[in-house]
Structure 1
């Protein structure tokens, strides 16, 4: 999906890195003179160096919104000087993440994108964003909050190596930043690290300089200009912190959850198995489990979706109920797959009338990966009005994600051809999500 991240500091970089590695396209926006302390692990460094590589992922400075959009398609993270994130009006991302860490909301609204996330205090989920990500160290770090706010800012940094406030390097006077020591240097307590406004700044503890502002940046007395890590491990200078990674993973989780809540999944498990010559859903074993259990395992990965399985077998209905999946009994399987689809769709809408779409899958496709299902949901979220199918090369198959605009036509279908009748009417609206060839295989005959 297209994601705009406001801010390109070290926490924002952890978010961008995690989401980029999941395949999303990223544009990060920054101010003209970034004030990132941990510059070696921040894409904000690209603003004055042109590019920045962090743990194998490259960020490149773009000179315009159009260039940023083009770069996002080229396997890098785009960095754009755009304090108000105006690029979102041109690019129309699916997700906007406020990672400025200003400790208050300085302009993010719930309408900035279909999904809006924000890091840390100053935001209220449900009011000015869809989810807040906790940034306070502790058990809740990285946890998405879908109603309410993060823990208020205490002004006290987290404890590292037995030190908290002592780790901070603060400006001793108003003026320009004049570093004496460099990021990665081992320093001793009392040594001069920089001058600000002509006044010396001293180290308060022994350690390695993990972050420091670049030369020439205007600063105010008392402003944070760097930090010393008492662990004296120089490798930490070049690694995204565990905190940043955890916050990034929290953002990825929130995106999946918020997308999932807008979709239903219908699993069709009521077929007559005429070509198989028996009840394949109960008899056929995959890794020692019957076919229907394999499908229920997949549905278990999508607890945020509205999940329905349509079946005529009490064993399947009972197992589904134990896993929190709603079972609908099809008492007329001879009416074909269309009837099963309609039963499932009707139940999904009964549970959630505002669904954005429904993913329809069959129960005899054992090698389908949950990751493919997730990509189908994200593709449908990115392209409203599309019919999204799993496919391999030129071959198209199941599952199929239906936008809600097709629900009326699906509810009028008859016979055993299912949604293929609707797909034939709108070939230009079909989008394929590439998957492995084996994932499309179904079980029609006994092995």
Structure 2
């Protein structure tokens, strides 16, 4: 089951976020006001409010009127869009993540208590107070970067430089009144050309370029309000493409989601076994090499992307402990591996909880499982977020395997294990609480004998 995300706002930047998250397999619900004011409406899901449906870069956004219709749209792999200015859908559907992408330059009612992961775009929010993270929206070196403490760069009112122009790119209303476009999105225009009439007053182009955005006919506007955008790069394809800025912001949101949600989990990598079945080099099984790379590294290298998690490697082998420490993991030395896997489990739990007492759960993996992929671990973490207090097991429909992620409610049982009894004993006692993460047999294979192909 995919993570479900609510995005407040469905403008062009919000749509860039939606596309990035949708392409990662997440389910998306978006909210909008009854009369959207999106200038770049060709690449905005807000267009669905007055057209019923919008297709942006292959993603279909469908206008829905309630949570039941939203659920139906999600089941069809569509983005659900509601006219819901106050975001009341938050109280009717469960969301794992809430993103405030209204871009009002101030907080319009988003609270860090709205969900387990609350993210806001741009100025007007303080990370750690209004939300868990703020995403920088100002063009520059920090565009798209998550901020976990503090604020984004304040709004200057001056757009970023594109094609050598900044403020000149904007088309602004010349008077209060009704929007009457003259030029259309995609038109090539010249400086001084009539682009629109607002409240009976003309609006002219300040530069040569292509109309990349323009408000729809009949919108009530105020003098000085942004009603359109001229792109001096004269590239027609950009009219129908999500901007690089929106994409970068979307990537920042995806990064923040992983960091915030996954940081509540620990990882224990077990590498203290005696390798009794492996042959002559029993004590060095995990140091056996393939393509010049020792076995233990195949797993640990895949796990480097989870730096937001508390990770420890339990081993008796100095090379493994040194490698773990050099790659951002906590080394936990087990000098008594003969006491069985239960000791390694306990040591791993103690190390993780000492580092982060608020852990929601711990994933246990063995270092003689070189085929395991980071994507599988990510799926297990997402399943844990969606299924609190459950046990997440990698495996097939016929066989449960490793890794296993156990919620903190099972830690006391794990700490009572003795001898060579591992976490599978706890899993077997609570099979009704197991959520399966289907995994290929190649990833599940652990290497116990030299004759095995890995």
Scaled by the length of structure 2, the TM-score of the pair is 0.96
How many residue pairs match? The answer is 447
In the TM superposition, residue 154 of structure 1 has moved relative to its aligned partner by: 0.3
1:37 equivalent to 2:25? Answer no
User: Which residue, 99, 112, 132 being the options, matches 1:110?
Assistant: 112
Q: Cα deviations across residues 232-281 of structure 1 (Å, max 9, x unaligned)? A: 11100001111000000000011111123211100000111112122454
Q: Cα deviations across residues 57-112 of structure 1 (Å, max 9, x unaligned)? A: 11111121221123123211111111111112221211100000000111000100
In the TM superposition, residue 300 of structure 1 has moved relative to its aligned partner by: 1.7
Secondary structure, in 3 states, of the residue corresponding to 1:37?
coil
User: Which residue, 62, 73, 86 being the options, matches 2:75?
Assistant: 73
Greater CA drift, 30-39 or 185-194 = 185-194
Aligned to 1:235: 237
CA contact (8 A) 2:299 2:371 kept: no
Aligned to 1:177: 179
Aligned to 1:135: 137
- State the distance in 1 between where 2:55 and 2:107 align: 29
Matches within 5 A, 1:182-261: 182-261=184-263
User: Which residue, 305, 310, 335 being the options, matches 2:314?
Assistant: 310
Q: Cα deviations across residues 297-351 of structure 1 (Å, max 9, x unaligned)? A: 1232211111111111122112212222111122222222222111101111111
1:5 equivalent to 2:7? Answer yes
- State the distance in 2 between where 1:205 and 1:123 align: 34
Secondary structure, in 3 states, of the residue corresponding to 2:112?
coil
In the TM superposition, residue 357 of structure 1 has moved relative to its aligned partner by: 0.8
CA contact (8 A) 1:27 1:69 kept: no
CA contact (8 A) 1:280 1:291 kept: no
Aligned to 1:289: 293
Tell me the C-alpha RMSD between the 2 structures: 1.3
Greater CA drift, 354-363 or 193-202 = 193-202
User: Which residue, 134, 148, 151 being the options, matches 1:149?
Assistant: 151
CA contact (8 A) 1:133 1:247 kept: yes
In the TM superposition, residue 405 of structure 1 has moved relative to its aligned partner by: 1.0
- State the distance in 1 between where 2:28 and 2:13 align: 15
- State the distance in 1 between where 2:71 and 2:115 align: 16
Gaps of 5+ in 2: none
- State the distance in 1 between where 2:283 and 2:392 align: 30
User: Which residue, 382, 388, 392 being the options, matches 2:386?
Assistant: 382
In the TM superposition, residue 286 of structure 1 has moved relative to its aligned partner by: 3.3
Aligned to 1:398: 402
Greater CA drift, 365-374 or 244-253 = 365-374
Aligned to 2:126: 124
Q: Cα deviations across residues 158-217 of structure 1 (Å, max 9, x unaligned)? A: 111111111111111221111111100111111111111122211111110000011111
1:95 equivalent to 2:82? Answer no
Secondary structure, in 3 states, of the residue corresponding to 1:104?
coil
Aligned to 2:333: 329
Secondary structure, in 3 states, of the residue corresponding to 2:92?
helix
Q: Which consecutive segments of 4 or more residues in structure 1 shift more than 4 A?
A: none
User: Which residue, 44, 47, 56 being the options, matches 1:54?
Assistant: 56
CA contact (8 A) 2:10 2:101 kept: yes
Scaled by the length of structure 1, the TM-score of the pair is 0.97
Greater CA drift, 288-297 or 403-412 = 288-297
- State the distance in 2 between where 1:281 and 1:4 align: 47
Greater CA drift, 216-225 or 149-158 = 216-225
